[in-house]
Amino acid sequence: MRIAEISTPELRQIHREAEPQAHHPLLSEIELSIHQAESVSKDHPPTESLPSSLRQALTRLSQLAPFPSNSFKLHLWKLSFRLWNACVDLSNAASLRSSSSAAAEIIASLRHVAADMLFLSIDVTGVPSPMIKCSLFYHRTGLIWINLKNFDLASNCFERATDIVSKIDIGKISDAGERKLILDLNLARSRTAWEVSDRNLAVTLLHRAKNFLFGSPDHYKSLSNQFLAFGKSALSRDDTGSLNEALRLMNEALDLCEKGLGAAKTREDTMEFLGMRTKTLRFISAVHLQKGEYDSVIKCVKVLRDGGGGGNGGDGADQHASLPVLAMKAWLGLGRYSEAEKELRGMVGNKDIPEGVWVSAVEAYFEAVGTAGAETTKGVFLGLLGRCHVSAKAALRVAHRVLGDSSGGDHGSSVRAKVVAQLVSDERVVALFAGEAVAKERKAMHAVLWNSGSDHFHAKDYETSADVFEKSMLYIPHDLENRVFRAKGFRVLCLCYLGLSQLDRAHEYIEEAEKLEPNIACSFLKFKIYLQKKDHSGAIVQIEAMTTCLDFSPDFLSLSAHEAISCQALPVAVASLSKFLSFFVSGKTMPTTEVVVFRTLTTILIQDSGSETEALNFLLQAYSRASKLGIDCFFGGGETGRREQNWFAVTSWNVGSRCGNQQKYELCAEFLRLASEFYSYMANSEPGENEIMICKSIILSVTAMVAWEKQSKTTLTEFQVKQASELLERAGKIMTLLSSGSGLNNSKDSIIEPELFFMYTLNAYDIHGRLNNSPFQQLLVKTYAGSKACNPNYLLQIGMFASQGPRSNPEVAAFALNECLATLISSPTPEYPMVALIIRKLIAISSVHKGETDDETIHNMYKQAYRIMIGLKDREYPTEEGKWLAMTAWNRAALPVRLGQNETAKKWMKIGLEIAGKVSGMDTYRACMEDYLAEFETRVSSAASDRTT
């Protein structure tokens, strides 16, 4: 505001007389600068050079003190007022054009110069209260510097003003404005000290200001308000020291209110002090609340509700909105939840309480009481809906607060979620979120509910999750723009009810989702429902449906297979992976390798003993693909590829072995043949053990083919015989290679088990017999007989096999049996039952295939048997076999007797009699034989004599 020059008519006369003497070059320079300030327009604000030039001139002027005359001082006084008023005009103009802070600082600097000019002429004569006026200039300049946040210059102004006033006898000041200035100076200095964090000085100055109240109600108000302002500032810092300080300051403010009531002279003053006291008490309650002094809070609230303790009973009771909040929080702090609930419910009926206050109260109550207060919170909120306007934002805050952190999925979070589900599904609450004006809040509410539902879903609390997700659907508009979100909601609800095994309801939701947004996710969820229902045919049909979706990718087939395996729906898993395989030939980039799919398919199928045929088909496909693409391309390179090859080889071997044990010889043959092919891949890079496995697989494969022939009572086709021949030829080459290979034992016996070597020999003999390759058969048996793997039992089997059937080979049979007999006899402890069996078989072979033309050979066999029996213990040679030898040898003499071949007959009779002598139990037979032989010899001799005579 502009400040007028104070001058009486007498003073104006003195001024006019003194003006000629007041002219001085410095004053003229200052006046010129002031004139420049006065002439500055609104469009051209003052520059920084103006206060600088004035300050320099004033500095030079101060060096002239004391000034020569009173007229000089009066002139300087007048220039100071002119400069001040020019600053007022500049400030007004600056406010109209919204000038920058730099322009405001220039104007403040000019005001400061004006105050300093006044201070230089403070001892002027003829001006009333010059010190008060000078202090006023400094006070107002300091206030401006405070607004500009320049507290150092503000403090400088207030201190200069205070120093000036201190020289005045306060007791002689009667003017109310001058008294108010003295108080205001102390308050301003205190406020400045507080701003620069010099709190001790600030509080000290406030206490000093008590000396300048002069019994004025306005003074009490100002000082009390300043104490309260400092107290509120300390309260906002929320630390123990600041809270104690805030309490002290507010108590001072309360004390000043009480004293002000005593000094009040009008009803208006009294009412204002009562309001100030009530306000201060509320803040004191807030301090006690933050300090945890809940009993003190309750006491303060009681005082306020009783009328502030002013003796007015309930007439002056405070009904401020914060009181029930303070009381409720104090009761919560004391653990008295029932009283807190009463306060909270009492707020519902108070329509004057702002929305933000009661929402804050609801949050505080629920935070303290927790899950137990969820129902109360819901009831309070719904009660508020019927009594006052509630915003969507408030409903959102309450729902978010009650839900809290539900990631743990505990019982408490489930209870809170169910309460919120009931709250947000109330028609009145849903109505709050209708319309575009609250679109942001509606989206936020949906997000809050969705996140809560997700947390419970991840915690496998599907019931709560489904409840919350269903309520979240209320906050998605039914328009085209949001149909994707609605479809997403239906899909997640389908998942929830899948988790609850409520399959029909899950199916209903996914049908709704598919109507809104048909995609692969819907199709896959329907697939899961079919799996859960154990409808395997429906699931397989759904696999085909998935491939027709626009956003289909082969990943879903792999995922479908995993789902089917987890549900033990192996046919569905096989169908999914089979479909998956069909995409590899398309050349598309696939999420996994083809070999992994084949491996997974085979693993699934070999779990079921009835699915070996399907497993074989996929293994054959894998072998075909590996042959076509190349080993490294199909199986992969390095150690990974080696492991894959080994898996297929070992699996083929294991399944083939299992089929053999189950007498599924046809499948056994195929699996083992395939195993040999997979081992061949590995043998190319890692010779040694793999060649052995190839050889074993081939031998057992052919063995299984022959066993299947006997089992099925069929005959191997020419193709099968040729295939078996080729396989055995390959095995034979490998055996030859292994027996001569470096780094391996040079004995077939140590590389191939004797059993397998025998099986190879027997099978090769059989197959080449079908091919009428007798020379090779003889070579095979001779090779086997000459190996260290040779075993009499195996030789016996070969001999027996060669002697039987339509493709028998007597030469091979005889060779094998003779070799077997020689081996047995050379043993320290021969097995005489086997020896007896071989001798009988050799006699039978010679008798059948050579007849009587080789009588001597047959006789030698009987002779050999006799020699073997010599020296044996009783019954060590099988008795029955001995009897058979004795009887057959004796009977062989019958034909020569009839033919008159007496010597031949005697030869057979004698060997029969000799053998009978070594067999127990043939005494009677032997006596008869001896009698017959003696009679025969007599008869032969008599006949010979007659012929001689």
| pLDDT tens, position by position, 154-195 | 999 999 999 988 888 777 777 777 888 889 999 999 999 999
721 confidence band (pLDDT: 50, 70, 90) = very high
String of DSSP letters for 114-137: HHHHHHHTTT-SS-SSHHHHHHHH
pLDDT of residue 421: 87
Task: Record the tokens describing residue 650, joined without a space.
Answer: 């070992």
Residue type, 793: N
Whether the per-residue pLDDT at 318 is higher than 60: the answer is yes
93 confidence band (pLDDT: 50, 70, 90) = confident
Residue type, 417: A
pLDDT of residue 746: 41
Contact (CB, 8 A) for 331 and 337? yes
More confident residue, 30 or 370: 30
Give buried/exposed letters for 443-471 (b at 16+ CB in 10 A, else e).
ebbbebbbbbbbbbbebebbebbbbbbbb
C-alpha to C-alpha distance for 667 and 704, rounded to whole angstroms: 9
Dmax over CA atoms of the chain, in Å, equals 219
C-alpha to C-alpha distance for 3 and 88, rounded to whole angstroms: 9
C-alpha to C-alpha distance for 95 and 92, rounded to whole angstroms: 5
Long-range contacts of residues 864-867, Cβ cutoff 8 Å, at least 24 apart = 864/839, 865/836, 865/839, 865/915, 866/911, 866/914, 866/915, 866/918
Q: Model confidence over 869-901: pLDDT tens digits?
A: 998 888 899 999 999 999 999 999 999 989 888
Give the containing element (helix H, strand E) for 146. Answer: helix 130-147
- Which DSSP state fits 371? G
Place of tokens 């057959």: 888
- Which DSSP state fits 65? P
Nearest residue to 326 via CA among 340, 311, 316: 340
Query: For the whole model, what pTM was predicted?
Result: 0.63
Q: Model confidence over 467-510: pLDDT tens digits?
A: 999 999 999 998 888 999 999 999 999 999 999 999 999 999 99
C-alpha to C-alpha distance for 365 and 370, rounded to whole angstroms: 8
Residues ≥6 apart with Cβ < 8 Å to 637: none
Rounded mean pLDDT, 436-455: 93
What does the mean pLDDT of the chain come to? Answer: 86
Whether the per-residue pLDDT at 837 is higher than 90: the answer is yes
Cα 721–724–729 angle (5° rounding)? 125
Whether the per-residue pLDDT at 406 is higher than 70: the answer is no
409 confidence band (pLDDT: 50, 70, 90) = low
317 confidence band (pLDDT: 50, 70, 90) = low
Distances (CA, A) of 424 to 410, 420, 446: 21, 6, 10
Residue type, 819: E
Whether the per-residue pLDDT at 949 is higher than 70: the answer is no
575 confidence band (pLDDT: 50, 70, 90) = very high
8 confidence band (pLDDT: 50, 70, 90) = very low
Whether the per-residue pLDDT at 18 is higher than 70: the answer is no
Task: Record the tokens describing residue 320, joined without a space.
Answer: 């401020």
807, burial (CB in 10 Å: exposed 0-12, middle 13-18, buried 19+): middle
Report the SS3 class of residue 623.
Answer: helix
C-alpha to C-alpha distance for 147 and 157, rounded to whole angstroms: 14
Whether the per-residue pLDDT at 862 is higher than 90: the answer is yes
Report the SS3 class of residue 608.
Answer: coil
